[in-house]
Structure 1
Protein backbone atom coordinates (compact mmCIF):
# COMPACT_ATOMS: atom_id res chain seq x y z
CA UNK A 1 0.00 0.00 0.00
CA UNK A 2 1.22 3.53 -0.60
CA UNK A 3 2.50 5.31 2.49
CA UNK A 4 -0.05 8.13 1.98
CA UNK A 5 -3.11 8.91 -0.10
CA UNK A 6 -2.53 10.11 -3.59
CA UNK A 7 -3.19 13.74 -4.37
CA UNK A 8 -6.28 14.45 -6.48
CA UNK A 9 -5.51 14.72 -10.17
CA UNK A 10 -6.10 18.20 -11.56
CA UNK A 11 -9.06 18.59 -13.88
CA UNK A 12 -6.95 19.39 -16.93
CA UNK A 13 -4.78 16.27 -16.27
CA UNK A 14 -7.63 13.82 -15.68
CA UNK A 15 -7.00 10.68 -17.71
CA UNK A 16 -10.61 10.53 -18.93
CA UNK A 17 -10.65 14.13 -20.19
CA UNK A 18 -9.67 14.92 -23.72
CA UNK A 19 -6.60 17.11 -23.97
CA UNK A 20 -7.25 20.75 -24.70
CA UNK A 21 -10.72 20.81 -23.16
CA UNK A 22 -11.59 22.76 -20.08
CA UNK A 23 -14.30 21.98 -17.59
CA UNK A 24 -17.43 24.04 -18.18
CA UNK A 25 -19.21 25.22 -15.14
CA UNK A 26 -22.08 26.99 -17.04
CA UNK A 27 -24.06 26.39 -20.25
CA UNK A 28 -27.33 24.67 -20.94
CA UNK A 29 -28.55 21.94 -18.66
CA UNK A 30 -31.52 19.62 -19.33
CA UNK A 31 -34.18 18.60 -16.89
CA UNK A 32 -36.08 16.21 -19.16
CA UNK A 33 -39.12 14.07 -18.47
CA UNK A 34 -40.21 11.44 -20.95
CA UNK A 35 -43.35 12.41 -22.87
CA UNK A 36 -46.14 9.88 -23.06
CA UNK A 37 -48.90 12.04 -24.65
CA UNK A 38 -49.13 15.17 -26.78
CA UNK A 39 -45.59 15.31 -28.10
CA UNK A 40 -43.95 15.84 -31.48
CA UNK A 41 -40.72 14.28 -32.72
CA UNK A 42 -38.60 16.95 -34.41
CA UNK A 43 -35.31 16.25 -36.13
CA UNK A 44 -32.19 18.16 -35.18
CA UNK A 45 -31.73 18.97 -38.84
CA UNK A 46 -34.61 21.42 -38.34
CA UNK A 47 -34.17 22.40 -34.70
CA UNK A 48 -30.43 23.14 -35.25
CA UNK A 49 -30.58 24.21 -38.89
CA UNK A 50 -27.64 26.38 -39.80
CA UNK A 51 -29.37 28.60 -42.38
CA UNK A 52 -32.95 28.97 -41.19
CA UNK A 53 -33.87 31.90 -38.98
CA UNK A 54 -35.10 31.29 -35.45
CA UNK A 55 -38.61 32.32 -36.53
CA UNK A 56 -38.57 29.85 -39.43
CA UNK A 57 -37.33 27.03 -37.15
CA UNK A 58 -40.02 27.75 -34.58
CA UNK A 59 -42.70 28.02 -37.24
CA UNK A 60 -41.55 24.75 -38.79
CA UNK A 61 -41.81 23.00 -35.42
CA UNK A 62 -45.27 24.49 -34.92
CA UNK A 63 -46.48 23.27 -38.32
CA UNK A 64 -45.19 19.74 -37.63
CA UNK A 65 -47.13 19.71 -34.35
CA UNK A 66 -50.48 20.64 -35.97
CA UNK A 67 -53.00 17.90 -36.75
CA UNK A 68 -53.95 17.03 -40.32
CA UNK A 69 -56.40 19.49 -41.83
CA UNK A 70 -55.58 22.37 -39.49
CA UNK A 71 -55.50 25.82 -41.13
CA UNK A 72 -51.94 26.93 -41.87
CA UNK A 73 -52.40 30.03 -44.03
CA UNK A 74 -50.67 33.33 -43.33
CA UNK A 75 -53.81 34.98 -41.95
CA UNK A 76 -54.40 32.19 -39.42
CA UNK A 77 -50.76 32.10 -38.33
CA UNK A 78 -50.63 35.89 -37.99
CA UNK A 79 -53.67 35.75 -35.71
CA UNK A 80 -51.96 33.04 -33.63
CA UNK A 81 -48.50 34.64 -33.23
CA UNK A 82 -47.43 38.26 -32.59
CA UNK A 83 -44.82 38.43 -35.38
CA UNK A 84 -47.26 39.71 -38.03
CA UNK A 85 -48.13 38.59 -41.56
CA UNK A 86 -44.97 39.97 -43.22
CA UNK A 87 -42.49 38.12 -40.98
CA UNK A 88 -44.55 34.93 -41.01
CA UNK A 89 -44.72 35.01 -44.81
CA UNK A 90 -40.94 35.40 -44.96
CA UNK A 91 -40.47 32.45 -42.57
CA UNK A 92 -42.78 30.29 -44.68
CA UNK A 93 -40.69 31.14 -47.73
CA UNK A 94 -37.56 30.02 -45.86
CA UNK A 95 -39.15 26.69 -44.95
CA UNK A 96 -40.35 26.27 -48.52
CA UNK A 97 -36.89 27.00 -49.91
CA UNK A 98 -35.30 24.32 -47.69
CA UNK A 99 -37.97 21.71 -48.38
CA UNK A 100 -39.76 21.76 -45.03
CA UNK A 101 -42.91 23.16 -46.64
CA UNK A 102 -44.76 22.71 -49.91
CA UNK A 103 -47.77 24.67 -51.08
CA UNK A 104 -49.87 23.24 -53.91
CA UNK A 105 -52.95 24.47 -55.72
CA UNK A 106 -55.70 21.84 -55.89
CA UNK A 107 -59.24 21.92 -57.24
CA UNK A 108 -62.09 20.89 -54.94
CA UNK A 109 -65.05 18.79 -56.16
CA UNK A 110 -67.05 22.01 -56.44
CA UNK A 111 -64.48 23.48 -58.85
CA UNK A 112 -62.91 25.93 -56.41
CA UNK A 113 -59.11 26.36 -56.35
CA UNK A 114 -57.59 26.16 -52.84
CA UNK A 115 -54.02 26.15 -51.51
CA UNK A 116 -52.92 22.97 -49.73
CA UNK A 117 -49.99 23.33 -47.30
CA UNK A 118 -47.80 20.25 -46.81
CA UNK A 119 -45.33 20.11 -43.89
CA UNK A 120 -42.36 17.77 -44.47
CA UNK A 121 -40.42 16.59 -41.42
CA UNK A 122 -37.54 15.11 -43.48
CA UNK A 123 -36.99 17.03 -46.73
CA UNK A 124 -34.00 14.90 -47.77
CA UNK A 125 -36.02 11.67 -47.53
CA UNK A 126 -38.96 13.24 -49.35
CA UNK A 127 -36.74 14.30 -52.26
CA UNK A 128 -35.39 10.78 -52.74
CA UNK A 129 -38.63 8.92 -52.01
CA UNK A 130 -40.33 7.52 -55.09
CA UNK A 131 -44.00 8.60 -55.41
CA UNK A 132 -46.56 5.97 -54.49
CA UNK A 133 -48.95 4.51 -57.04
CA UNK A 134 -51.41 7.21 -58.07
CA UNK A 135 -49.48 9.94 -56.23
CA UNK A 136 -48.14 12.91 -58.11
CA UNK A 137 -44.50 13.87 -57.52
CA UNK A 138 -44.07 16.96 -55.34
CA UNK A 139 -44.07 20.18 -57.29
CA UNK A 140 -43.14 23.63 -56.06
CA UNK A 141 -46.29 25.64 -55.69
CA UNK A 142 -46.74 29.23 -56.73
CA UNK A 143 -46.10 31.71 -53.94
CA UNK A 144 -49.14 33.34 -52.48
CA UNK A 145 -47.44 36.71 -52.24
CA UNK A 146 -46.30 36.86 -55.87
CA UNK A 147 -49.30 35.19 -57.49
CA UNK A 148 -52.61 36.18 -55.90
CA UNK A 149 -55.31 33.56 -55.67
CA UNK A 150 -57.75 33.78 -58.51
CA UNK A 151 -61.00 31.85 -58.28
CA UNK A 152 -62.00 29.88 -61.37
CA UNK A 153 -64.26 31.60 -63.79
CA UNK A 154 -67.80 30.50 -63.41
CA UNK A 155 -69.67 29.52 -66.53
CA UNK A 156 -72.12 32.19 -67.51
CA UNK A 157 -75.72 31.15 -67.51
CA UNK A 158 -77.36 31.25 -70.95
CA UNK A 159 -78.84 34.65 -71.70
CA UNK A 160 -82.54 34.87 -71.04
CA UNK A 161 -84.51 35.23 -74.30
CA UNK A 162 -86.28 38.49 -75.02
CA UNK A 163 -90.03 38.70 -74.36
CA UNK A 164 -92.27 37.97 -77.33
CA UNK A 165 -93.59 40.92 -79.33
CA UNK A 166 -96.80 41.22 -81.37
CA UNK A 167 -96.73 40.74 -85.12
CA UNK A 168 -98.54 42.68 -87.83
CA UNK A 169 -101.38 41.05 -89.72
CA UNK A 170 -99.88 42.06 -93.06
CA UNK A 171 -96.07 42.52 -92.78
CA UNK A 172 -95.62 44.67 -95.85
CA UNK A 173 -91.99 45.53 -96.70
CA UNK A 174 -92.67 49.26 -96.38
CA UNK A 175 -94.19 48.75 -92.93
CA UNK A 176 -91.20 46.71 -91.70
CA UNK A 177 -88.79 49.27 -93.13
CA UNK A 178 -90.53 52.08 -91.27
CA UNK A 179 -90.40 50.06 -88.03
CA UNK A 180 -86.67 49.41 -88.48
CA UNK A 181 -85.96 53.10 -89.00
CA UNK A 182 -87.94 54.01 -85.90
CA UNK A 183 -85.98 51.58 -83.70
CA UNK A 184 -82.65 52.65 -85.17
CA UNK A 185 -83.34 56.26 -84.16
CA UNK A 186 -84.31 55.63 -80.54
CA UNK A 187 -80.76 56.19 -79.27
CA UNK A 188 -81.01 59.80 -80.46
CA UNK A 189 -83.76 60.32 -77.88
CA UNK A 190 -81.87 58.38 -75.17
CA UNK A 191 -78.32 57.00 -75.62
CA UNK A 192 -79.23 54.02 -73.38
CA UNK A 193 -81.55 52.72 -76.11
CA UNK A 194 -78.79 51.85 -78.57
CA UNK A 195 -79.85 48.45 -79.95
CA UNK A 196 -77.88 45.72 -81.65
CA UNK A 197 -78.87 44.35 -85.04
CA UNK A 198 -80.14 41.14 -83.42
CA UNK A 199 -82.30 43.01 -80.90
CA UNK A 200 -83.64 45.31 -83.62
CA UNK A 201 -84.68 42.35 -85.77
CA UNK A 202 -86.57 40.90 -82.79
CA UNK A 203 -88.43 44.17 -82.08
CA UNK A 204 -89.31 45.17 -85.65
CA UNK A 205 -92.54 43.07 -85.89
CA UNK A 206 -93.81 44.63 -82.64
CA UNK A 207 -93.29 48.19 -83.88
CA UNK A 208 -94.85 47.24 -87.22
CA UNK A 209 -97.94 45.95 -85.37
CA UNK A 210 -98.30 49.38 -83.73
CA UNK A 211 -97.89 51.23 -87.01
CA UNK A 212 -100.41 48.91 -88.63
CA UNK A 213 -102.97 50.00 -86.03
CA UNK A 214 -102.82 53.62 -87.22
CA UNK A 215 -100.47 54.73 -84.42
CA UNK A 216 -98.28 57.59 -85.59
CA UNK A 217 -94.49 56.99 -85.47
CA UNK A 218 -94.10 59.87 -83.00
CA UNK A 219 -96.63 58.25 -80.66
CA UNK A 220 -94.81 54.90 -80.86
CA UNK A 221 -91.53 56.65 -80.09
CA UNK A 222 -93.02 58.39 -77.05
CA UNK A 223 -94.49 55.14 -75.72
CA UNK A 224 -91.11 53.39 -75.94
CA UNK A 225 -88.94 56.17 -74.49
CA UNK A 226 -91.15 57.77 -71.84
CA UNK A 227 -90.57 57.20 -68.09
CA UNK A 228 -87.40 55.14 -68.37
CA UNK A 229 -85.99 53.88 -65.02
CA UNK A 230 -83.80 56.58 -63.43
CA UNK A 231 -81.29 53.99 -62.21
CA UNK A 232 -80.56 52.94 -65.78
CA UNK A 233 -81.65 50.33 -68.30
CA UNK A 234 -79.84 47.02 -67.89
CA UNK A 235 -81.20 45.43 -71.06
CA UNK A 236 -83.01 47.98 -73.25
CA UNK A 237 -84.28 45.42 -75.76
CA UNK A 238 -86.12 43.50 -73.03
CA UNK A 239 -87.74 46.71 -71.76
CA UNK A 240 -88.88 47.72 -75.25
CA UNK A 241 -90.22 44.23 -75.99
CA UNK A 242 -92.24 44.31 -72.78
CA UNK A 243 -93.71 47.72 -73.63
CA UNK A 244 -94.57 46.72 -77.19
CA UNK A 245 -96.52 43.72 -75.91
CA UNK A 246 -98.06 45.18 -72.73
CA UNK A 247 -99.11 48.56 -74.19
CA UNK A 248 -100.27 47.38 -77.62
CA UNK A 249 -103.22 49.61 -78.61
CA UNK A 250 -106.44 48.08 -79.90
CA UNK A 251 -107.04 47.86 -83.64
CA UNK A 252 -108.74 50.89 -85.19
CA UNK A 253 -112.55 50.77 -85.41
CA UNK A 254 -113.97 49.21 -88.55
CA UNK A 255 -114.89 51.84 -91.13
CA UNK A 256 -117.36 50.61 -93.71
CA UNK A 257 -116.77 52.03 -97.16
CA UNK A 258 -119.36 54.53 -98.36
CA UNK A 259 -122.28 52.69 -100.05
CA UNK A 260 -122.80 53.36 -103.73
CA UNK A 261 -125.91 55.46 -104.42
CA UNK A 262 -128.87 53.36 -105.49
CA UNK A 263 -129.56 53.40 -109.23
CA UNK A 264 -131.97 56.08 -110.43
CA UNK A 265 -135.38 54.63 -111.30
CA UNK A 266 -136.93 56.86 -113.99
CA UNK A 267 -140.68 56.71 -114.54
CA UNK A 268 -142.20 54.88 -117.46
CA UNK A 269 -142.81 56.93 -120.58
CA UNK A 270 -144.67 56.14 -123.83
CA UNK A 271 -142.53 56.54 -126.90
CA UNK A 272 -143.88 59.24 -129.22
CA UNK A 273 -142.70 57.30 -132.25
CA UNK A 274 -143.64 53.65 -131.62
CA UNK A 275 -145.83 53.95 -128.54
CA UNK A 276 -143.48 51.55 -126.70
CA UNK A 277 -142.96 51.99 -122.96
CA UNK A 278 -139.50 52.92 -121.71
CA UNK A 279 -137.99 54.58 -118.68
CA UNK A 280 -136.86 58.13 -119.08
CA UNK A 281 -136.86 61.30 -116.97
CA UNK A 282 -139.23 62.98 -119.42
CA UNK A 283 -141.51 62.03 -122.32
CA UNK A 284 -139.97 61.56 -125.72
CA UNK A 285 -138.79 58.83 -128.01
CA UNK A 286 -137.26 55.51 -127.05
CA UNK A 287 -133.73 54.49 -127.95
CA UNK A 288 -134.81 52.88 -131.22
CA UNK A 289 -136.81 55.88 -132.40
CA UNK A 290 -134.30 58.54 -131.55
CA UNK A 291 -132.47 60.08 -134.51
CA UNK A 292 -128.71 59.51 -134.63
CA UNK A 293 -128.03 63.14 -133.97
CA UNK A 294 -130.00 62.96 -130.70
CA UNK A 295 -128.19 59.75 -129.69
CA UNK A 296 -124.86 61.43 -130.25
CA UNK A 297 -126.01 64.39 -128.20
Structure 2
Protein backbone atom coordinates (compact mmCIF):
# COMPACT_ATOMS: atom_id res chain seq x y z
CA UNK A 1 0.00 0.00 0.00
CA UNK A 2 1.38 3.42 -1.01
CA UNK A 3 0.87 6.31 1.38
CA UNK A 4 0.89 9.97 0.30
CA UNK A 5 -0.35 12.82 2.48
CA UNK A 6 0.06 16.60 2.50
CA UNK A 7 -0.49 18.35 5.83
CA UNK A 8 -3.07 21.14 5.41
CA UNK A 9 -1.97 24.65 6.26
CA UNK A 10 -5.46 25.85 7.34
CA UNK A 11 -9.03 24.67 7.86
CA UNK A 12 -8.14 21.38 9.51
CA UNK A 13 -9.12 19.52 12.69
CA UNK A 14 -6.70 17.73 14.97
CA UNK A 15 -7.90 14.20 15.63
CA UNK A 16 -6.47 11.79 18.16
CA UNK A 17 -5.43 8.34 17.01
CA UNK A 18 -7.49 6.95 19.88
CA UNK A 19 -10.59 8.28 18.13
CA UNK A 20 -9.67 7.44 14.54
CA UNK A 21 -8.62 3.89 15.45
CA UNK A 22 -11.31 3.28 18.06
CA UNK A 23 -12.36 -0.39 17.63
CA UNK A 24 -15.93 0.10 18.92
CA UNK A 25 -16.95 3.23 17.02
CA UNK A 26 -18.50 2.89 13.58
CA UNK A 27 -17.47 5.13 10.71
CA UNK A 28 -20.55 7.36 11.10
CA UNK A 29 -19.76 7.94 14.77
CA UNK A 30 -16.14 8.87 13.98
CA UNK A 31 -17.13 11.23 11.15
CA UNK A 32 -19.76 12.89 13.34
CA UNK A 33 -17.26 13.28 16.17
CA UNK A 34 -14.66 14.91 13.91
CA UNK A 35 -17.28 17.12 12.22
CA UNK A 36 -18.62 18.53 15.50
CA UNK A 37 -15.09 18.97 16.87
CA UNK A 38 -14.23 21.32 14.00
CA UNK A 39 -17.37 23.51 14.28
CA UNK A 40 -16.95 27.25 14.97
CA UNK A 41 -18.36 28.67 18.19
CA UNK A 42 -21.34 30.32 16.53
CA UNK A 43 -22.69 26.92 15.32
CA UNK A 44 -22.41 24.91 18.54
CA UNK A 45 -25.95 25.84 19.67
CA UNK A 46 -27.52 23.35 17.25
CA UNK A 47 -28.48 19.85 18.36
CA UNK A 48 -26.35 16.86 17.45
CA UNK A 49 -29.08 15.47 15.20
CA UNK A 50 -29.06 18.63 13.05
CA UNK A 51 -25.32 18.34 12.52
CA UNK A 52 -25.73 14.69 11.60
CA UNK A 53 -28.35 15.53 8.96
CA UNK A 54 -25.97 17.97 7.31
CA UNK A 55 -23.41 15.20 6.72
CA UNK A 56 -26.00 12.62 5.65
CA UNK A 57 -26.21 10.53 8.84
CA UNK A 58 -29.93 10.01 9.41
CA UNK A 59 -32.41 7.55 10.82
CA UNK A 60 -31.12 4.31 12.27
CA UNK A 61 -27.54 5.16 11.31
CA UNK A 62 -27.67 8.30 13.46
CA UNK A 63 -29.26 6.45 16.38
CA UNK A 64 -26.53 3.80 16.25
CA UNK A 65 -23.74 6.40 16.03
CA UNK A 66 -25.19 8.41 18.92
CA UNK A 67 -25.59 5.28 21.09
CA UNK A 68 -21.93 4.43 20.58
CA UNK A 69 -20.80 7.98 21.36
CA UNK A 70 -22.91 8.07 24.53
CA UNK A 71 -21.81 4.59 25.57
CA UNK A 72 -18.11 5.41 25.29
CA UNK A 73 -18.31 8.81 26.99
CA UNK A 74 -17.99 11.23 24.05
CA UNK A 75 -21.56 12.56 24.36
CA UNK A 76 -23.48 13.29 27.58
CA UNK A 77 -27.07 14.49 27.89
CA UNK A 78 -28.88 16.15 30.79
CA UNK A 79 -32.46 17.32 31.15
CA UNK A 80 -32.99 20.40 33.31
CA UNK A 81 -35.94 22.62 34.05
CA UNK A 82 -35.71 25.85 32.13
CA UNK A 83 -37.74 29.02 32.18
CA UNK A 84 -41.48 28.76 32.83
CA UNK A 85 -41.08 25.16 33.95
CA UNK A 86 -40.16 23.80 30.50
CA UNK A 87 -37.71 20.91 30.31
CA UNK A 88 -34.60 21.47 28.24
CA UNK A 89 -32.08 18.81 27.11
CA UNK A 90 -28.45 19.92 27.18
CA UNK A 91 -25.82 18.00 25.24
CA UNK A 92 -22.15 17.89 26.16
CA UNK A 93 -19.77 16.87 23.37
CA UNK A 94 -16.12 15.99 23.99
CA UNK A 95 -13.30 14.72 21.82
CA UNK A 96 -12.04 12.60 24.73
CA UNK A 97 -14.11 10.16 26.82
CA UNK A 98 -15.57 11.72 29.98
CA UNK A 99 -17.13 9.95 32.94
CA UNK A 100 -20.47 11.06 34.39
CA UNK A 101 -18.66 12.82 37.24
CA UNK A 102 -16.41 14.72 34.79
CA UNK A 103 -19.42 15.76 32.70
CA UNK A 104 -21.27 16.96 35.81
CA UNK A 105 -18.26 19.06 36.78
CA UNK A 106 -18.21 20.69 33.32
CA UNK A 107 -21.92 21.46 33.51
CA UNK A 108 -21.55 22.98 36.96
CA UNK A 109 -18.64 25.09 35.75
CA UNK A 110 -20.68 26.65 32.93
CA UNK A 111 -23.80 26.91 35.13
CA UNK A 112 -26.09 24.54 33.26
CA UNK A 113 -29.19 23.66 35.31
CA UNK A 114 -28.54 26.22 38.03
CA UNK A 115 -31.76 28.07 37.21
CA UNK A 116 -32.59 31.67 37.86
CA UNK A 117 -33.37 33.01 41.32
CA UNK A 118 -37.03 33.79 42.17
CA UNK A 119 -36.32 37.52 42.29
CA UNK A 120 -35.10 37.49 38.68
CA UNK A 121 -38.49 36.47 37.29
CA UNK A 122 -41.14 38.97 36.36
CA UNK A 123 -43.89 39.45 38.98
CA UNK A 124 -47.12 37.53 38.57
CA UNK A 125 -49.77 39.30 36.54
CA UNK A 126 -52.80 40.47 38.55
CA UNK A 127 -53.50 41.51 42.12
CA UNK A 128 -53.36 39.05 45.03
CA UNK A 129 -56.83 37.74 45.97
CA UNK A 130 -58.29 37.13 49.41
CA UNK A 131 -57.68 33.86 51.24
CA UNK A 132 -60.40 31.28 50.76
CA UNK A 133 -61.81 30.07 54.05
CA UNK A 134 -62.59 26.36 54.57
CA UNK A 135 -60.62 25.09 51.57
CA UNK A 136 -57.32 24.26 53.31
CA UNK A 137 -56.75 20.86 54.95
CA UNK A 138 -55.32 20.51 58.46
CA UNK A 139 -51.58 20.30 58.78
CA UNK A 140 -51.50 16.65 59.87
CA UNK A 141 -53.93 15.52 57.16
CA UNK A 142 -52.15 17.45 54.44
CA UNK A 143 -48.77 15.99 55.34
CA UNK A 144 -50.18 12.49 55.30
CA UNK A 145 -51.69 12.95 51.84
CA UNK A 146 -49.07 14.96 49.97
CA UNK A 147 -45.86 13.75 51.54
CA UNK A 148 -43.14 13.34 48.92
CA UNK A 149 -41.16 10.82 50.95
CA UNK A 150 -41.81 7.18 50.05
CA UNK A 151 -42.61 4.73 52.84
CA UNK A 152 -39.64 3.15 54.52
CA UNK A 153 -38.84 -0.25 53.02
CA UNK A 154 -36.91 -3.05 54.59
CA UNK A 155 -33.39 -3.32 53.19
CA UNK A 156 -33.18 -5.95 50.49
CA UNK A 157 -31.13 -8.97 51.31
CA UNK A 158 -27.97 -9.31 49.27
CA UNK A 159 -28.10 -12.22 46.85
CA UNK A 160 -24.96 -14.31 46.66
CA UNK A 161 -24.55 -15.99 43.28
CA UNK A 162 -22.75 -19.26 42.97
CA UNK A 163 -19.76 -19.63 40.68
CA UNK A 164 -20.61 -21.16 37.31
CA UNK A 165 -18.68 -23.83 35.36
CA UNK A 166 -16.38 -22.50 32.62
CA UNK A 167 -18.79 -22.96 29.71
CA UNK A 168 -21.77 -21.48 31.58
CA UNK A 169 -19.62 -18.55 32.79
CA UNK A 170 -18.62 -17.88 29.18
CA UNK A 171 -22.29 -17.86 28.12
CA UNK A 172 -23.09 -15.43 30.96
CA UNK A 173 -20.30 -13.08 29.81
CA UNK A 174 -21.78 -13.07 26.29
CA UNK A 175 -25.23 -12.14 27.62
CA UNK A 176 -23.89 -9.36 29.83
CA UNK A 177 -21.71 -7.97 27.01
CA UNK A 178 -24.74 -7.29 24.81
CA UNK A 179 -25.22 -3.95 26.62
CA UNK A 180 -22.07 -2.70 24.85
CA UNK A 181 -23.59 -3.52 21.46
CA UNK A 182 -27.01 -1.99 22.12
CA UNK A 183 -28.37 -0.26 25.22
CA UNK A 184 -31.73 -1.94 24.57
CA UNK A 185 -30.18 -5.33 25.39
CA UNK A 186 -29.04 -4.36 28.89
CA UNK A 187 -29.39 -7.33 31.28
CA UNK A 188 -28.91 -7.60 34.99
CA UNK A 189 -26.90 -10.40 36.54
CA UNK A 190 -29.98 -12.28 37.75
CA UNK A 191 -31.67 -11.82 34.36
CA UNK A 192 -28.61 -13.20 32.58
CA UNK A 193 -28.51 -16.20 34.94
CA UNK A 194 -32.03 -17.08 33.83
CA UNK A 195 -30.90 -17.29 30.18
CA UNK A 196 -27.58 -19.06 30.74
CA UNK A 197 -29.03 -22.56 30.22
CA UNK A 198 -30.34 -21.71 26.73
CA UNK A 199 -27.13 -19.90 25.75
CA UNK A 200 -24.97 -22.84 26.89
CA UNK A 201 -26.98 -25.16 24.65
CA UNK A 202 -25.96 -22.99 21.67
CA UNK A 203 -22.29 -23.36 22.60
CA UNK A 204 -22.68 -27.13 23.01
CA UNK A 205 -24.13 -27.34 19.50
CA UNK A 206 -20.95 -25.87 17.97
CA UNK A 207 -21.85 -22.14 17.83
CA UNK A 208 -18.93 -19.85 18.61
CA UNK A 209 -19.07 -17.01 21.13
CA UNK A 210 -18.82 -14.34 18.43
CA UNK A 211 -21.56 -15.93 16.33
CA UNK A 212 -23.86 -16.17 19.37
CA UNK A 213 -23.30 -12.48 20.15
CA UNK A 214 -23.98 -11.54 16.52
CA UNK A 215 -27.22 -13.52 16.32
CA UNK A 216 -28.56 -12.05 19.57
CA UNK A 217 -27.70 -8.42 18.78
CA UNK A 218 -28.45 -8.15 15.04
CA UNK A 219 -31.73 -7.32 13.27
CA UNK A 220 -33.36 -5.64 16.26
CA UNK A 221 -37.03 -4.54 15.90
CA UNK A 222 -37.59 -1.13 14.37
CA UNK A 223 -39.80 -0.09 17.27
CA UNK A 224 -37.13 -1.00 19.81
CA UNK A 225 -36.88 -3.77 22.39
CA UNK A 226 -39.37 -3.41 25.24
CA UNK A 227 -38.00 -6.21 27.41
CA UNK A 228 -34.44 -7.41 26.93
CA UNK A 229 -35.10 -10.62 28.89
CA UNK A 230 -38.19 -11.56 26.90
CA UNK A 231 -36.64 -10.66 23.55
CA UNK A 232 -33.41 -12.61 24.13
CA UNK A 233 -35.23 -15.60 25.61
CA UNK A 234 -37.54 -15.77 22.58
CA UNK A 235 -34.62 -15.46 20.15
CA UNK A 236 -32.56 -18.11 21.95
CA UNK A 237 -35.45 -20.54 21.76
CA UNK A 238 -36.68 -19.80 18.23
CA UNK A 239 -33.26 -19.66 16.51
CA UNK A 240 -31.73 -22.63 18.34
CA UNK A 241 -29.46 -24.43 15.79
CA UNK A 242 -29.85 -28.11 15.06
CA UNK A 243 -27.81 -30.42 17.23
CA UNK A 244 -25.01 -32.40 15.52
CA UNK A 245 -25.77 -36.01 14.59
CA UNK A 246 -23.55 -37.44 17.32
CA UNK A 247 -25.06 -35.25 20.05
CA UNK A 248 -28.74 -36.01 19.48
CA UNK A 249 -30.28 -37.58 22.49
CA UNK A 250 -32.76 -40.39 22.28
CA UNK A 251 -36.15 -39.71 23.87
CA UNK A 252 -36.18 -40.73 27.49
CA UNK A 253 -38.69 -43.51 28.14
CA UNK A 254 -40.88 -43.25 31.22
CA UNK A 255 -39.47 -44.93 34.26
CA UNK A 256 -40.68 -48.52 34.51
CA UNK A 257 -41.33 -50.49 37.64
CA UNK A 258 -38.21 -52.36 38.62
CA UNK A 259 -38.65 -56.11 38.33
CA UNK A 260 -36.42 -58.81 39.66
CA UNK A 261 -34.22 -60.08 36.83
CA UNK A 262 -34.26 -63.86 36.21
CA UNK A 263 -31.06 -65.76 37.00
CA UNK A 264 -28.64 -66.00 34.07
CA UNK A 265 -28.79 -69.20 32.01
CA UNK A 266 -25.39 -70.95 31.86
CA UNK A 267 -24.03 -71.47 28.35
CA UNK A 268 -24.31 -74.95 26.80
CA UNK A 269 -21.09 -76.99 26.87
CA UNK A 270 -20.95 -79.96 24.52
CA UNK A 271 -19.65 -83.25 26.00
CA UNK A 272 -16.24 -84.73 25.14
CA UNK A 273 -16.42 -87.67 22.70
CA UNK A 274 -13.64 -90.01 21.50
CA UNK A 275 -13.03 -89.58 17.77
CA UNK A 276 -13.68 -92.72 15.70
CA UNK A 277 -11.34 -91.64 12.92
CA UNK A 278 -7.90 -93.10 12.10
CA UNK A 279 -4.70 -92.10 13.84
CA UNK A 280 -3.86 -91.48 17.49
CA UNK A 281 -6.79 -91.60 19.87
CA UNK A 282 -8.10 -88.14 20.63
CA UNK A 283 -11.30 -86.51 21.85
CA UNK A 284 -13.43 -83.57 20.71
CA UNK A 285 -16.69 -81.90 21.69
CA UNK A 286 -19.63 -83.24 19.71
CA UNK A 287 -22.17 -80.47 19.17
CA UNK A 288 -24.72 -82.45 17.13
CA UNK A 289 -23.87 -86.12 17.78
CA UNK A 290 -20.83 -86.37 15.45
CA UNK A 291 -18.51 -89.40 15.86
CA UNK A 292 -15.46 -87.91 14.11
CA UNK A 293 -13.69 -84.66 14.73
CA UNK A 294 -13.69 -81.99 12.00
CA UNK A 295 -10.10 -82.83 10.93
CA UNK A 296 -10.90 -86.52 10.44
CA UNK A 297 -14.09 -85.67 8.59
CA UNK A 298 -12.16 -83.41 6.24
CA UNK A 299 -9.44 -86.09 5.68
CA UNK A 300 -12.10 -88.72 4.92
CA UNK A 301 -13.75 -86.40 2.43
CA UNK A 302 -10.42 -85.80 0.69
CA UNK A 303 -9.82 -89.56 0.62
CA UNK A 304 -13.15 -90.25 -1.04
CA UNK A 305 -12.47 -87.56 -3.57
CA UNK A 306 -8.95 -88.91 -4.24
CA UNK A 307 -10.31 -92.42 -4.63
CA UNK A 308 -12.78 -91.30 -7.25
CA UNK A 309 -10.11 -89.20 -8.95
CA UNK A 310 -7.64 -92.14 -8.95
CA UNK A 311 -10.27 -94.47 -10.39
CA UNK A 312 -10.90 -92.01 -13.17
CA UNK A 313 -7.15 -91.72 -13.90
CA UNK A 314 -6.30 -95.44 -13.34
CA UNK A 315 -3.75 -94.72 -10.54
CA UNK A 316 -3.02 -97.26 -7.79
CA UNK A 317 -3.01 -95.40 -4.47
CA UNK A 318 -1.26 -98.24 -2.61
CA UNK A 319 1.70 -98.03 -4.93
CA UNK A 320 1.84 -94.23 -4.48
CA UNK A 321 1.93 -94.67 -0.70
CA UNK A 322 4.72 -97.28 -0.91
CA UNK A 323 6.72 -94.99 -3.19
CA UNK A 324 6.29 -92.20 -0.68
CA UNK A 325 7.71 -94.37 2.14
CA UNK A 326 10.68 -95.38 -0.01
CA UNK A 327 11.33 -91.70 -0.84
CA UNK A 328 11.57 -90.92 2.88
CA UNK A 329 8.38 -88.93 3.20
CA UNK A 330 6.21 -89.22 6.31
CA UNK A 331 3.70 -92.05 6.09
CA UNK A 332 1.28 -89.91 8.10
CA UNK A 333 0.85 -87.47 5.21
CA UNK A 334 -2.17 -87.17 3.07
CA UNK A 335 -0.87 -89.81 0.69
CA UNK A 336 -0.71 -92.41 3.50
CA UNK A 337 -4.17 -91.40 4.70
CA UNK A 338 -5.52 -91.70 1.20
CA UNK A 339 -3.89 -95.11 0.78
CA UNK A 340 -5.35 -96.29 4.11
CA UNK A 341 -8.77 -95.00 3.16
CA UNK A 342 -8.53 -96.67 -0.25
CA UNK A 343 -7.41 -99.97 1.32
CA UNK A 344 -10.27 -99.89 3.84
CA UNK A 345 -12.67 -99.16 1.01
CA UNK A 346 -11.30 -102.02 -1.08
CA UNK A 347 -11.61 -104.49 1.82
CA UNK A 348 -15.15 -103.29 2.56
CA UNK A 349 -16.08 -103.82 -1.10
CA UNK A 350 -14.89 -107.44 -1.04
**TM-score, normalised by the number of residues in structure 2:** 0.27
Q: Which structure has more RCO (C-alpha within 8 Å, separation ≥ 6)?
A: 1
**TM-score, normalised by the number of residues in structure 1:** 0.32
Decide which structure has the larger Cα Rg and report it. 1
| Structure with more of its chain in helix, by fraction | 2
